[in-house]
Amino acid sequence: MESVEKLTHVLRNNGMKITPQRLMIFKILENNTSHPSAEEVFKRVKKIYPAVSFTTIYKTLETLRDLGEVKELIIDEDRKHYDPNTNSHHHFICSTCKKILDIFEDFSSHIKLPDSLKSDYTVFGFQISFYGICKECG
In the annotated binding site, the residues are 94, 97, 134, 137
Known binding-site positions for Zn(2+): 94, 97, 134, 137
Q: Give the bridge partners for 83, in sequence order.
A: 71
Distance CA 127, CA 111 (A): 10
* Cross-strand partners of 40: none
Give the containing element (helix H, strand E) for 103.
strand 100-103
Query: What's the distance, Cα to Cα, between the start and end of the chain in Å?
Result: 32
67 C-beta neighbours (distance < 10 Å), count: 14
